[in-house]
């Protein structure tokens, strides 16, 4: 058994804003009153909604890359990863977004040695296209990747699991973790279901706590 694993969502957790929101409000704000409302009401599956945004950003690849690299990350993200590794733990990113922009950001910040579990994607026809792996054991029709299945895959390999997230797709997955850190919408879900958790607003609040659970 390995010592511990820290599982972390990307959009809205590592990044200060969801990438799809950044692109939607910048390039197609009208969708905030159409498909975004349907998505929040559960009428659109997550992958369908994200592709509705990303497919239609109408940017050349260079401009898209600039927009990706402009996405702000939590100021203490690197410190969090370094602390996990200092304490002999492993760190993975688990995202129902797209590895296309996550990988570019991590490479830009010289953190491209972090394992990423997310949906594949590619640039074509002035847009980003999310392409879930239908043959993956972690495939989800709604999200592209089933975060709960990924967590369960790792659960028996570690003595302790930490999970940090911010929204609905993180809820069921995080229930299999020993320690849950939540922010924003995820806090509301934890309260609704009386689920134990530690609220946070940035990673600086988490870093000093990790060692206390080991």
Contacts of 193 (CB under 8 A, 6+ apart): 171
pTM of the model: 0.96
Which pLDDT belongs to residue 178?
A: 98
CB 87 within 8 A of CB 108: no
pLDDT digits (tens, 9 = 90+) for 109-164: 999 999 999 999 999 999 999 999 999 999 999 999 999 999 999 999 999 999 99
pLDDT digits (tens, 9 = 90+) for 2-28: 999 999 999 999 999 999 999 999 999
Question: In sequence order, which ranges of the chain are alpha helices (DSSP H)?
Answer: 19-27, 35-40, 46-54, 61-69, 77-86, 99-108, 147-155, 168-174, 185-192
Separation CA 13–CA 10 (nearest Å) = 5
Looking at the predicted structure, is the pLDDT value of residue 214 above 90? yes
Separation CA 120–CA 100 (nearest Å) = 7
Name the fold adopted by 2-18+71-213: Rossmann fold (3.40.50)
Distances in Å between the alpha carbon of 82 and those of 16, 24, 79, 102, 150?
19, 33, 5, 18, 23
Q: Where are the domains of the chain?
A: 2-18+71-213
């Amino acid at each position: 058994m390995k010592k511990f694993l820290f599982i972390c969502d990307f959009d809205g957790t590592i990044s200060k804003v969801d990438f799809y929101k950044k692109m939607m409000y910048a390039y197609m704000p009208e969708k905030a009153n159409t498909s975004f409302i349907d998505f929040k009401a559960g009428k659109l599956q997550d992958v369908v909604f994200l592709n509705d945004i990303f497919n239609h950003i109408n940017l050349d690849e260079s401009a898209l890359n600039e927009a990706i690299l402009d996405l702000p990350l939590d100021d203490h993200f690197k410190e969090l990863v370094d602390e996990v590794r200092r304490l002999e733990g492993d760190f993975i990113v688990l995202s129902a977004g797209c590895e296309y922009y996550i990988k570019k950001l991590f490479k830009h910040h010289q953190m491209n040695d972090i394992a990423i579990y997310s949906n594949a994607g590619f640039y074509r026809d002035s847009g980003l296209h999310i392409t879930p792996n239908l043959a993956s054991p972690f495939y989800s029709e709604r999200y592209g990747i089933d975060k709960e299945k990924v967590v369960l895959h790792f659960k028996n390999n570690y003595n302790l699991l930490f999970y940090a997230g911010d929204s609905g797709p993180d809820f069921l997955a995080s229930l299999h973790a020993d320690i849950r850190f939540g922010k924003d919408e995820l806090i509301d879900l934890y309260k609704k279901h009386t689920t134990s958790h530690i609220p946070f607003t940035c990673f600086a609040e988490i870093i000093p706590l990790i060692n206390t659970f080991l």
